[in-house]
């Protein structure tokens, strides 16, 4: 699938000019992100939790696979496996300071993925998913670490969410003001935002050099 083919529940309803239809944009957002927000229906109310994630664009699921993990004791787990969930990724790119409160806005990229998560039981897929989640944080890092123990694997649940049902919105650029506000000579503009790393902090009980993957990640986040 090279395009996002929204279903009724992932069709962008308003501000259609902000809808993004190509999967490549979704893939870039997935690559840029670090934290997703997972929405689960908990009986009488939804719960939204921040979560790490991993991405396998060639994964076994239609549209690629988004992997999440959690403790076997997590309270949201049963609910997530009992119905559909929503995973939302948002990167904030700027504050849009318009000439009126109404036209204030933000520049952002945001994707919504809705689907039925699958509990991953295959040992090879579980290992691969956990490596992808580590590599999302620091690319290349999983390959440098020891194998997980049986106890660690037994404590961890891995969920796979198909990325077939997804939509994306983005806003970029400056304020869109009313002509009379522009004519009035009022200032308007954007405060661009980005996430940076403030270097690397080595643990006090760590006596070896910063690994290349960690150094590269910190430099890339610059």
61 sits near a copy of itself (criterion: CB under 8 A): no
Shortest CB 194 distance to a copy of itself, Å: 6
Residue 124 is inside which H or E element, if any? helix 123-137
Scanning residues 73 to 112, which ones bind a copy of itself (CB under 8 A)? Answer: 73-75, 83-88, 90, 92, 95, 97, 99-102, 104, 106, 108, 110, 112
Scanning residues 4 to 23, which ones bind a copy of itself (CB under 8 A)? Answer: 9, 13-14
Residue 103's Cβ-count burial label (10 Å; 0-12, 13-18, 19+) is middle
192 sits near a copy of itself (criterion: CB under 8 A): yes
Shortest CB 2 distance to a copy of itself, Å: 25
| Residue in 114, 113, 115, 105 with CA at minimum distance from that of residue 17 | 105
Q: Are 190 and 97 in contact (CB under 8 A)?
A: yes
Shortest CB 121 distance to a copy of itself, Å: 18
- Per CB under 8 A, the segment of 22-30, 60-68, 117-125, 131-139 that binds a copy of itself is 131-139
Q: For a copy of itself, give the closer residue by CB, 64 or 70.
A: 70
CA distance 36 to 38: 6
Q: For a copy of itself, give the closer residue by CB, 2 or 196.
A: 196
Binding a copy of itself (rule: CB under 8 A), the pick from 26, 30, 142, 161 is 142
175 sits near a copy of itself (criterion: CB under 8 A): yes
Beta bridge partners of 112: 88, 167
Binding a copy of itself (rule: CB under 8 A), the pick from 50, 121, 123, 150 is 50
Phi-psi region of 15 (alpha: psi -120 to 50; beta: other; left: phi over 0): left
CA distance 216 to 195: 15
196 sits near a copy of itself (criterion: CB under 8 A): yes
CA distance 210 to 197: 15
Find all residues with CB under 8 Å of 40, minimum gap 6, and list them: 46, 47, 49, 76, 79, 80, 85
216 sits near a copy of itself (criterion: CB under 8 A): no
- Which tokens belong to 7? 């279903």
Shortest CB 93 distance to a copy of itself, Å: 10
- Which tokens belong to 73? 């004791």
Binding a copy of itself (rule: CB under 8 A), the pick from 121, 123, 150, 187 is 187
- Which tokens belong to 144? 């440098």
Shortest CB 27 distance to a copy of itself, Å: 19
150 sits near a copy of itself (criterion: CB under 8 A): no
């Amino acid at each position: 699938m090279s395009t996002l083919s929204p279903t009724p529940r992932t069709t962008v309803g308003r501000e259609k000019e902000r809808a993004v239809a190509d999967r490549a944009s979704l893939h870039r957002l997935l690559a840029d992100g670090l934290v997703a927000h997972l929405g689960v229906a908990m009986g009488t109310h939804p719960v939204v939790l921040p979560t790490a994630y991993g991405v396998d664009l060639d994964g076994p699921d239609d549209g690629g696979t988004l992997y999440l993990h959690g403790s076997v004791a997590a309270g949201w787990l049963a609910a997530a496996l009992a119905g559909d969930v929503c995973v939302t990724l948002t990167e904030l790119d700027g504050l849009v300071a318009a000439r009126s409160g109404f036209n204030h806005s933000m520049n952002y990229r945001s994707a919504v993925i809705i689907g039925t998560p699958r509990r991953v039981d295959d040992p090879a897929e579980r290992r691969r998913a956990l490596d992808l989640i580590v590599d999302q944080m620091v690319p290349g890092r999983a390959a440098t670490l020891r194998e997980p123990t049986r106890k660690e694997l037994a404590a961890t649940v891995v969920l796979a969410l198909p990325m077939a049902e997804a939509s994306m919105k983005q806003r970029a650029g400056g304020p869109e003001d009313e002509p009379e506000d522009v004519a009035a000579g009022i200032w308007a503009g954007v405060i661009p935002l980005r996430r940076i790393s403030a270097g690397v902090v080595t643990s006090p009980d760590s006596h070896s050099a910063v690994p290349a993957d960690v150094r590269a990640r910190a430099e890339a986040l610059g």
